[in-house]
Structure 1
Amino acid sequence: MQTLQALTDDAKALAQGHIVPMTPAEDEVARVMQICNACRYCEGFCAVFPAMTRRLEFPKADVNFLANLCHNCGACLHACQYAPPHEFAVNVPRAMAEVRGQTYAEYAWPPSFGKLYKNNGLTLALALVVGLALFLIIAAAAHGGLGALWSEQTAGNFYNLFPHNLLVGMFAPVFLFVVFALSMAVSKFWKQIKPATSGADVSGPAAAEATHDVLRMKYLDGGAGQGCPNEDDAYTLARRRMHHFTFYGFMLCFAATALGTVYHYLFGIVAPYELPSLPKILGALGGVSLLVGTSGLWHLNRRRDPEHGDLKQKPMDLGFIALLFLVSLTGLALWIFRSTPAMALLLCAHLGAVMALFLTLPYGKFAHGVFRTAALLRHTTEKREPNPIGLGAD
């Protein structure tokens, strides 16, 4: 059987010093999965449990795969007869969250950046925004004098303050770094979990199903379409809806920027754009959606039951939410007050927030979205292969 063979291979590699042993958090996931595999009450809740039933043991690769497949809805904790204060102390959401937090740092490139952001997410995020905005303010003042920071002459056109080529020179390397760092991280993750998830290549139907599940955020429905439970056992779809506002708001803003690039280089239509141009419509809708989604997620994150996750990751979670909120807030403010003397300061604040967001994307919750997508791809691929132990239901 493939899982048993993977265990044998892992044992040999560990004896030779070629792989890293399981961490205490990974051991805990393996422990609770053994108990869950015997119980199977939650088998229909989400993708984690059908994937679990295809395994007899849970070595490191399987644990990391299952942890990133988990959407942390919390439904299994509220349904579990072995949850604390039972002596088995089964808490799947917390155990999975702790391992996910480790994967952000373990697979990050370079690894030291992942550890830094994991431990100081909110502080680092806000410090980056302030530091980068101040740097841009100082640069603008050095180029045009202090008067350029509050002037009718610079109002109305971003390129009066920062030439287009200068902005491209600042942001293109950051964007390329983000793409490269994320590619390195997810390729390392994929290389580890692929042999543990049947080893088969992704098919068209598997990719289509995973894409459908990602875009709908299917597994934030609590398993029965009721949503995620609160600490009082009441179910709500608020988390799923706020995630939708945030995800699609970000995608609309990204689409607006990409379309603006096409307008500039392909059609020679230079920014700034106004309504009813398509880049402005997409950007405005995306900005408002991001404001709604991030405000909701901040509120829900601060109120969530501590038993539903890993409290050590709150700074990282809140740092990512804060950056998305600041990007949307400063972007909308820049649009509204672009023709006023405040344009220069607002532009520096917005550019600082955008650059800070992109610099931290590979090391926090955005990376978690990429890893989760990869895990879903492996799940929809694996479930189409023969079950190696002949038990369970996909």
Structure 2
Amino acid sequence: MTIPLLQLGTVGLLRDASVQLVGLGLAAAVVATGWTVLYRRRTTRPLPPGSGAFLGVSTVAAWMFVEIVLRGSLVGSLPYEHHGSAIYGVAGLSLGGVVGAVGRPLGDRIACVVYGIERLVAERDVARLLRSARVLTVVTVSDSVSDTEGYSPASNKTKRALAGAQFRLPSRLSEDELIDRLETRIVADYDVDHASVTFDDGAVASLSVGRRRSSLGPTLPPDTVAVGIRADPAGDASPGDAVEIWETGPDATRLVARGRLRASSEERATVVVDRDDAARFDPTTRYRLVTPSETPSDHYRLTSLLRDVEETTIAVSVADDDDLLGEFVGWLPGSALAIERDDEVLVLPDDRVTLQSDDIVFLVGLPSAFAERLNISEARTVAV
């Protein structure tokens, strides 16, 4: 029986099919290797077994699907329902799976070399051997996971997943390095933006986690609202600058409100205005933003910086029987931004200023420093 491909007298088809299979194999290898590198870089873990072969087969299958839809054939003019196309498809998918499986360990080695990631296989019997040789140490998180003051609370699902979780870490690390490695792992593996771990006698004494506030609400001044409008932003305006919102038309031009620009994108802008001015805007009207001649405010810039760093801002109240009563501001953890005392606000107080009863002091610093030195509880912390 003559091979179907040869029935068509197509030595050229065999040559074309071979070239295409080589190209598909290279494409599958590149995709599997690239995804492995990205996965290792993002998670510091190897791509799960079998994923490389899946990526290789998926790459070949996607290319074949596009060829059938666009041209109605896989090789030259050979119909896709022909026996030769079936042989070509099986060969291509098999080749994709093989090169994808090879691309996974190759990509993992490349990622470890490029990004300086230590490759350590520690599963089942190997893990027990490493622990017995004191190469690995198992760190178990406490059953109670709390919220970090100054951050938005993490979800209950995340805290339940963290409670009692075990992490295998190198035993050669010092306690500070162990804490840093553990906090990094928790932030990378769980849905949190900050983790604070404290150790006691070599074991995890407490763990607090939190998420950064991403909404506008907590950063708006009192009695103001954020409004989205159709507008032409001023060319020299940047987020945080004071702007005037003008309504322009064929008959009249009038000033609608004054506020501050928070964000702009093409024909849309978000401005912060007084609460009473929010009702003046019409969703169907297009406005023009003008930057007045005044010094731009740094409030938005400071808020943006605080939202992107580990430091957070909290407000602590001082009671009559509090241990903070009479404490120097310079001895507090972090930096004191202001003290609210009766009807007076002391901005950037001197280090020698002492705290009095009923004071509210606003601090910026690391949550771990607040927890360690202030022993802050919900009863003492005021919402900011």
Query: TM-score, normalised on structure 2?
Result: 0.18
Higher strand share: 2
Higher helix share: 1
Higher relative contact order (CA 8 A, sep 6+): 1
**Structure whose alpha-carbon radius of gyration is higher:** 2
